[in-house]
Amino acid sequence: MAEAVPRRHPTLDEVAERAGVSRSVASRALNNAPHVSRAKREAVERAVRQLGYVPNPTARALATRQTGAAALVVSGEDPSIFADPFFARVIVGASAALDEADLHLMLCLAASDRGRKRVEELMRSRGADGVMLMALREDDPLTRMADEVQMPVVFGGRPVGSAPRWYVDVDNVGGAREATEHLISLGRRRVAVICGRLDTEAGRARYRGYRDAMLGAGLDPYPPLEGDFTERSGAAAMAALLAGHPDVDGVFAANDNMAAGALRTVRQAGRRVPADVAVVGFDDLMAAQIADPPLTTVHQPVEALGREMARMLVALVNGQDPTPLVLPTRLAVRASA
Amino acid sequence: MAEAVPRRHPTLDEVAERAGVSRSVASRALNNAPHVSRAKREAVERAVRQLGYVPNPTARALATRQTGAAALVVSGEDPSIFADPFFARVIVGASAALDEADLHLMLCLAASDRGRKRVEELMRSRGADGVMLMALREDDPLTRMADEVQMPVVFGGRPVGSAPRWYVDVDNVGGAREATEHLISLGRRRVAVICGRLDTEAGRARYRGYRDAMLGAGLDPYPPLEGDFTERSGAAAMAALLAGHPDVDGVFAANDNMAAGALRTVRQAGRRVPADVAVVGFDDLMAAQIADPPLTTVHQPVEALGREMARMLVALVNGQDPTPLVLPTRLAVRASA
DNA sequence: GCTTCCAGTGGGAGCGCTCCCAAAGCGCCA
DNA sequence: TGGCGCTTTGGGAGCGCTCCCACTGGAAGC
């Protein structure tokens, strides 16, 4: 028997009528709730199939006060920050975890004023069951918003200067320290650093790790030379470095993009990597592998970061109280150092 | 006067009561609808402010039958396809356009069976106002689903073998042709091709463009050597190429990732780019710029693609009937060819 | 002065679902 | 045979909003 092609979506009432039961029973059958006889459950299932019924998520959301969606908010003053493949990997992880919990993923790039405003509205109106916040900068308005709001919020990476109740982070300090120690263990003594933005906690923490390692080895840390995590800024920083400190023999860059930029500059200056200048990056994304030479870098578990953020949010939505998480990093040694 | 900190969200009824008007008037005032006196409009605005009222989007959605969200679905048999920075850029564009229309972006990675099933449910249940579909493969179940469903659907890139009613694509054939002609104009005569997946229309179209150019120049096109758009597959294909056709002097790769892989293999084989083998890619993403040497590649307007898809979807949602769009590509000449 | 018109207003019926609760049915034991 | 406790059932009241419509009163037109 061919299924009808309904112009309008059938409602639960129509299913109930067709199955010869009340709406309540139909609802219970649909949700696998108890107190439904086998016969009626099957009748409902049949009616659902014949009518091609699909429950209306909006109506369900209104009744249950649960939207069935979680938002991932990427802050930043410029939407292009999102072009960093880092976020795509986070999303892959988060999406998988949300799938398991049957939550949809809403993606908010809070880059423009308008975007930020829409995020605020989303949070205040409970347009989602919870929010994951990423890439917050110092004094980011979203930080304040987050704890004014009556909604589960998980931070991806800690915001500058404060540890929120729930977050997932990676061991930025430890990773940066290990990277720098690796350079030192290679016999490098004039190891400079190309920092990420110092108005982000990741940028600061990675500088601290570098500094710790240098001081620990009895070496003088270089002052922070700040980039903005882009390839260009890495290239520019490296140029400044070569100009100011021509004798530099090692560089730790706070991410792969900047390391790739540094590589480019070093090459253009006619110096060899790693013979003259050894370079270590941070992230271990695709850029590290296609760089020439392939980049020694701090591997961080990016998909796991996304996955754990989502899982933490799901736990929160279910009324649990998970504990913050700091994921380990490890050094991936390749040719550049 | 301090604003109250409401435990529960205030409703429109409470706003109306506080403002001394009916719910209808409050609703009209809120939506800037006519038939509200200046005095009452202001009273409502005051009450909104005092109560910190934010309308409940779910209730609104139920009443208006509009969810206020658009979904971007990325198909594929493996979630890691999404790690391609291409999609991030599409999202940046789409997000901006959706922001303008006050639509939220739902992101669905339809990689697992579960994911596909959830997408189907989303489409059948009108869980979004419309859908943008990307990265469809041959016989992708989503293609069929798309036209069974009573919902605006915009395709990003055409599906294999059929031109849907509404799509935004880039000129894959033209771009590939131009890339190949560039290699030929450089005096290369043994120009091979590393195809993308031939079960995608982009993969096929780019091969067609290559083939057209070769035939047009009176040269023998190489048979399609298929990769899967990843760096690794590009490297492997290049290795096979060097083994089978050691005299190859030009390569067109159907995207930058594969071109970067090819570069790596050529380098490892001790040949020089572009002196021995000239390489052209497709996409013009970050990878093209950090490659060594920087990659000559076909620039495609990726953010525009996302933006136009979103705009087309918005038009559709608003009851208009936009026309399909094919965006131009252009060759970005760098050092690799 | 009367009708006509229309901006302004509020009541009420949805939108499609969940869930509480009262009522009914049905063994089963005393 | 009555009563107890269980599962099963369906009615109905929400969830918070939009929007139709009937109603009011004052300005405009004749």
CATH number at residue B19: 1.10.260.40
Domain assignment present for residue B2? The answer is: no
Å from the A19 CA to the C19 C1': 20
Residues 62-101 of chain B with CB under 7 A from strand D are 62-64
Residues of A whose CB is below 8 A from B52: 124
Q: Is the pLDDT of residue B107 over 70?
A: yes
Q: Is the pLDDT of residue A5 over 80?
A: no
Write the burial class of residue A1 (CB in 10 Å: 0-12 exposed, 13-18 middle, 19+ buried).
Answer: exposed
Q: Once rounded to an integer, what is the mean pLDDT over residues B288-316?
A: 96
Beta-carbon separation of B105 and A107 below 8 A: yes
Quote the tokens at residue A135: 């890439």
Domain assignment present for residue A250? The answer is: yes
Cβ atoms of A53 and A23 within 8 Å: the answer is no
Cβ atoms of B99 and A115 within 8 Å: the answer is yes
- Based on the fold, state whether residues A226 and A157 are members of the same structural domain: no
Å from the A121 CA to the D16 C1': 17
- Based on the fold, state whether residues B185 and B145 are members of the same structural domain: no
pLDDT band at A90 (very low <50, low <70, confident <90, very high): very high
Rounded distance, CA B204 to CA B197, Å? 8
- Based on the fold, state whether residues A185 and A252 are members of the same structural domain: yes
Domain assignment present for residue B262? The answer is: yes
Nucleotides of D under 7 A from a protein CB: 7-12, 14-21
Distances (CA, A) of A64 to A101, A106, A150, B271, B321: 16, 19, 17, 65, 36
DSSP 8-class letter at A82: G
User: Which of B163, B164, B158 shows the shortest CA–CA distance to B146?
Assistant: B164
Quote the tokens at residue A229: 């995590």
**Strand B104-109 vs strand B69-74: parallel, antiparallel, or unpaired?**
parallel
Nearest-CB residue to B115 (from A99, A261, A286) = A99
| The nucleotide closest to B39 (CA, C1' atoms) | C8
Domain assignment present for residue B6? The answer is: no
- Based on the fold, state whether residues B239 and B322 are members of the same structural domain: no
Task: Tell me the backbone φ, ψ of residue B299, rounded to 5 degrees.
Answer: -80, 125
Q: Once rounded to an integer, what is the mean pLDDT over residues B184-211?
A: 96
Could you tell me the pTM of the whole model? Answer: 0.94
Domain assignment present for residue A336? The answer is: no
Interface mutation vs chain B, best among A107, A256, A272, most B CBs within 10 Å = A107
Helix axes B201-216, B172-185, angle to 10 degrees: 40
Interface mutation vs chain A, best among B3, B74, B104, B266, most A CBs within 10 Å = B104
**pLDDT tens string A230-275:** 999 999 999 999 999 999 999 999 999 999 999 999 999 999 999 9
**pLDDT tens string A290-303:** 888 999 999 999 99
Domain assignment present for residue A335? The answer is: no
Q: Which domain does B31 fall in, by range? A: 12-55
Domain CATH number, residue B286:
3.40.50.2300
Q: What is the pLDDT of residue A3?
A: 45
pLDDT band at B290 (very low <50, low <70, confident <90, very high): confident
Cβ atoms of B92 and A82 within 8 Å: the answer is yes
Q: Is the pLDDT of residue B8 over 80?
A: no
- Based on the fold, state whether residues A143 and A188 are members of the same structural domain: no
Å from the A39 CA to the D7 C1': 14
Q: Is the peptide bond before A10 cis (omega within 30 degrees of 0)?
A: no
Interface mutation vs chain B, best among A8, A99, A229, most B CBs within 10 Å = A99
Strands laid side by side in the B167-170 sheet: A325-327, A167-170, A153-156, A130-134, A69-74, A104-109, B104-109, B69-74, B130-134, B153-156, B167-170, B325-327
3-state helix, strand, coil in chain B (%, to 5): 45, 15, 40
Cβ atoms of B132 and B71 within 8 Å: the answer is yes
- Based on the fold, state whether residues B154 and B96 are members of the same structural domain: yes
- Based on the fold, state whether residues B165 and B176 are members of the same structural domain: no
Distance from the A21 Cα atom to the nearest Cα atom in chain B, whole angstroms:
22
Cβ atoms of B151 and B131 within 8 Å: the answer is yes
Catalogue the E-assigned strands of chain B. 69-74, 104-109, 130-134, 153-156, 167-170, 191-195, 225-226, 250-253, 278-283, 296-299, 325-327, 330-332
Q: Which residues touch strand C (CB under 7 A)?
A: A 8-9, 11-13, 23-24, 27, 30-31, 33, 53, 55-56, 59-60, 62-64; B 21-25, 28, 34-40, 59, 62-63, 65
pLDDT band at B7 (very low <50, low <70, confident <90, very high): low
- Based on the fold, state whether residues B164 and B313 are members of the same structural domain: yes
- Based on the fold, state whether residues B88 and B194 are members of the same structural domain: no
DSSP 8-class letter at A109: E
Domain assignment present for residue A178? The answer is: yes
Place of tokens 């071109």: B259
A2 touches strand D (CB under 7 A): no
DSSP 8-class letter at A80: G
- Based on the fold, state whether residues B152 and B234 are members of the same structural domain: no
Rounded distance, CA B118 to CA A162, Å? 37
- Based on the fold, state whether residues B102 and B112 are members of the same structural domain: yes
Q: A316: which residues sit within 8 A by CB, 6+ positions away?
A: A130, A152, A154, A166, A322
B12 touches strand D (CB under 7 A): yes
Q: Is the pLDDT of residue B208 over 70?
A: yes
User: Which of A75, A82, A73, A330 shows the shortest CA–CA distance to A229?
Assistant: A82
Rounded distance, CA A25 to CA A36, Å? 7
Nearest-CB residue to B99 (from A112, A264, A287) = A112
Cβ atoms of B178 and B337 within 8 Å: the answer is no
Tally of CA atoms within 13 A in the half-sphere of B310 that contains its CB: 28
Q: What percent of chain A has pLDDT over 90?
A: 86
Q: What is the pLDDT of residue A7?
A: 60
Domain assignment present for residue B239? The answer is: yes
pLDDT band at A2 (very low <50, low <70, confident <90, very high): very low
Q: How many domains, in total, are found in chain B?
A: 3
Distance from the A187 Cα atom to the nearest Cα atom in chain B, whole angstroms:
27
More reliable by pLDDT, B162 or B269: B269
Strands laid side by side in the B225-226 sheet: B225-226, B191-195, B250-253, B278-283, B296-299, B330-332
Beta-carbon separation of A286 and B257 below 8 A: yes
Helix axes A85-100, A302-317, angle to 10 degrees: 40
B55 touches strand D (CB under 7 A): yes
Distance from the B256 Cα atom to the nearest Cα atom in chain A, whole angstroms:
11
Rounded distance, CA B160 to CA B139, Å? 8
- Based on the fold, state whether residues A295 and A310 are members of the same structural domain: no
Taking the CB of residue A313, how many other CB atoms lie within 10 A of it?
Answer: 29
Residues of B whose CB is below 8 A from A63: none
**pLDDT tens string B241-278:** 999 999 999 999 999 999 999 999 999 999 999 999 99
